[in-house]
Amino acid sequence: MMKMKIALQRGIGLIETLLIVLFVSVCVVALINFQHYLSSSTNSSQQWFDATILATSEVESLRDFQVLPNTAGYSSYQGISSGSSNTTVGNTSYTLTWTVTTNTNPNYKTIDVTVTWTDRFNTSQSVRLTSQVAGIDPAMSAAIK
């Protein structure tokens, strides 16, 4: 009876050890998957942030005119026009496309900027920003009437 009791105790110790090893292995695999998820989530967030900064920068550069009519050496309100460009930030290539629509009554332009890129899962992503620019002489922009 005593030998059987000792044999059972050894067997239970082995089973407990195997269950602990299995439990630890499952936890390690879960942590590795979670780390992969966090890594891809951080990468996607960074790409959205970079695209938003690029779109905002383009809108601000189009809004930064110095005179109304086209004048050599100055950026002008009349010179605000549609276009596109490509840029790379980090390891991601972005395509910026902006469309400018002129409105006459009242006099303003609508700027629609779209930034597109392909993420790490080969999915096309985009950020769109829209703004209006008034056709007011910059010298008069702070005048009170």
Residue 112 has pLDDT above 80, yes or no: yes
Residue 142, domain member (yes or no)? no
pTM of the model: 0.71
Residue 36, domain member (yes or no)? yes
Domain of 52 in residue numbering reads as: 2-137
Residue 124, domain member (yes or no)? yes
- The residues, any chain, with a CB within 8 Å of residue 55's CB and separated by 6 or more, are 96, 113, 114, 115, 127, 128, 129
Q: What per-residue confidence (pLDDT) applies to 58?
A: 95
Closest CA to 62 of 84, 89, 47, 86: 84
Distance CA 14, CA 136 (A): 84
Residue 11, domain member (yes or no)? yes
Q: 């970079």: which residue's tokens?
A: 50
Number of domains forming the structure of the chain: 1
- Per-residue model confidence as pLDDT tens digits over 3-61: 555 555 555 678 888 888 999 999 999 888 888 777 767 788 889 999 999 999 999 99
Residue 145, domain member (yes or no)? no
Among residues of the chain, what percentage have pLDDT more than 90? 45
Q: What per-residue confidence (pLDDT) applies to 126?
A: 96
